[in-house]
A and B are shown apart, each in its own frame.
Chain A
Amino acid sequence: MTPLLSVEKLNVFYDAFQAVHDVDLTVGEGEIVSIIGANGAGKSSFLKALVRQAGRVTGSARLDGCDLAALSTREIVAKGIALVPEGRKLFPTLTIFENLRIGQELGRKGDIGFEQVYEWFPVLRERRDSRARELSGGQQQMVALGRALLANPRLLLCDEISLGLAPRVVNELYAIIPQVRERGVAVVVVEQDISRSLAVADRFVCFLEGEVSLSGRPADADRDTIMQHYFGGAH
């Protein structure tokens, strides 16, 4: 069966610096893949490359056979890839409702609507007329996730959604991911928090200095092996 996302020999360059080296990755429909790695390992660059927001990119990335290099970011979102960017990247002077609506307008038609997002994150309904800058970090992350989900993606890319948040809030956010998968949405989760990330994933890929250093199923890899490939020193 053709995977939903198929990446081959992907490289990302920022001028002379190469952030990602020859990465291969496939993601199936409804699959959750975790990308782990230390700070600066190339995880975020890899996600940005998929939505054509990285530097110079070589190699191939296809969504359901469609070459992403031939599309603009706007077209990629409309095709079904939505990114929850690192740092949330909300529009601070817009209301919660306006931030969410932008996600819906840019995305595909589908069955994830405002009611569903408000059911997942009730606080967003209560504060729909508040400006994004007035929210706590956790609430802002809910808006960022809600905005991406309202685009009705086939593939959801989550970049460090736990960063700087209290464990209780992170639990709330991660509780949504299996429910999203039940709707047939594939999810790629980029995290530095290994245990959190592996707990939710079907497969994982570990990045080290821009290269894939280890991949497999969470149940098949012991923690020491993962740590060696996470920080280096395993070769």
Chain B
Amino acid sequence: MVETILNLIVQGVLIGGLYALFALGLSLSLGVMRFVNIAHGDMIVLFSFVLLSLTGVLGWSPFLVALILLPVAFGLGWLLQRFLLQRTVGKGILPILLVTFGLSIIIQNGLLEAYGPNTRKLSGGAIELAALRLGPIDVGVYPLLVFLLAVALIAGLDAFLYRTAIGARIRAVADDPAAADLIGLTSARIYPVAMGVVGITMLVAASCMSVWTNFDPSIGPSRLLAAFEAVVLGGLGSLWGTLIGGVIIGVAQNFGSQIDASWQILAQHLVFLVALVFRPQGLFARS
């Protein structure tokens, strides 16, 4: 019994690493830049399909392709913010919701047209099947590496945001875009950099997800929901909180699935709602 519970917790924590990766970019855009990107999940799925195509053509590992594509992901995030999303900054919540909702629909339908509705998965090689015996529990090497990657990425992003000059500029513009403009700190120059970083996190999440689990053009919104819950659970503005939020979701799903398969997602949402009731600001909100 104890062994089963321990196993559920450990596996849930490791899945939480994947959820944290989904949520990291959203944590930056929602928690720090203070805007909601409805297309967040779809953009991760889009990157997954890009990886699918390129690994198919090149025959390389998806991780190697993702590594090479990191500058492209930064550039796409930069371009998206500079030429589309930036037009909505300072105009309230509705324009950004509408624009990214539209983007979500375009991505989903574009992928459906290009790739069809079938589910896909990328092969990560032998690492997918490798396991470690930790006491009474078997731990997959790949989930463990994904979790460690999430921790490393969060540590790097946290240092970027809170220990560098450009990070301070991003937080300044997020605090008050109009005040920033008034002193010459132009939001139109700062936000694209932040969105470029979000693009990188999306690509990393896409590469990990597409090897871990199946994906198809329609799963973006469910990924967005999990990411959104992880961010809110952890507390807006706290990247480490996002990791904890992801872990809570992962553990809740695992325990829920023990009751019934249909309870897996339900347990996730129930934990989210309970946490909202008792701590609406999230567990580790920075402000």
Contacts and interface: CB of A to CB of B under 8 A. Distances in A.
B186 A72 contact: yes
Nearest to A72: B186
Given A91-B172, A102-B169, A78 B184 contact: yes
Contacts of B169: 102, 105
A89 B182 contact: yes
A187 interface: no
The winner among B169, B176, B183, B287 for most chain A CB atoms within 10 A is B183
B286 A101 contact: no
Contact of B183 (A75, A77, A94, A98): A77
A147 B287 contact: no
Contact of B184 (A74, A92, A93, A99): A74
Nearest to B186: A74
B185 A98 contact: no
B182 A93 contact: no
The winner among A75, A76, A106 for most chain B CB atoms within 10 A is A106
A194 interface: no
B40 interface: no
A75 B186 CA distance: 10
Contact of B179 (A76, A77, A78, A90): A90
B168 interface: yes
A94 B165 contact: no
Contacts of B186: 72-74
B236 to A, nearest CB: 11
Given A73-B186, A74-B184, A76-B184, A98 B179 contact: no
B165 A89 contact: no
A146 interface: no
B181 interface: yes
A94 B181 CA distance: 16
B175 A93 contact: yes
Contacts of B176: 89, 91-92
Contact of B168 (A48, A51, A82, A102): A102
Interface string A95-133: 000110111011000000000000000000000000000
B82 interface: no
A78 B184 CA distance: 9
Given A93-B286, A93-B287, A102 B182 contact: no
A78 to B, nearest CB: 7
A147 B180 CA distance: 12
A89 B176 CA distance: 8
Given A74-B186, A105-B165, A91 B171 contact: yes
Nearest to B237: A93
Nearest to A148: B183
B286 A53 contact: no
Interface in B132-189: 165, 168-169, 171-172, 175-176, 178-186, 189
A83 interface: yes
A73 B179 CA distance: 12
B175 A103 contact: no
A85 interface: yes
The winner among A74, A92, A93, A101 for most chain B CB atoms within 10 A is A93
A95 B184 CA distance: 19
B175 A92 contact: yes
B168 A94 contact: yes
Contacts of B175: 91-94
A161 B172 CA distance: 21
Contacts of A98: 168, 171-172
B184 A73 contact: yes
Given A91-B171, A91-B172, A92-B175, A101 B165 contact: yes
Contacts of B286: 93
11 contacts: A74-B185, A77-B184, A83-B182, A91-B179, A93-B175, A94-B168, A98-B168, A102-B169, A103-B183, A105-B165, A148-B183
Interface of A: 48, 51, 53, 72-78, 82-83, 85, 89-94, 98-99, 101-103, 105-106, 147-148
Q: What 6 A-B pairs have minimum CB-CB distances, sorted nearest first? A: A77-B184, A89-B179, A91-B172, A91-B175, A74-B184, A98-B168
Given A73-B186, A74-B185, A91-B179, 18 more contacts: A53-B182, A73-B183, A77-B183, A77-B184, A82-B183, A85-B182, A89-B176, A89-B178, A89-B179, A89-B182, A90-B179, A92-B175, A93-B175, A94-B171, A94-B172, A102-B168, A103-B183, A148-B183
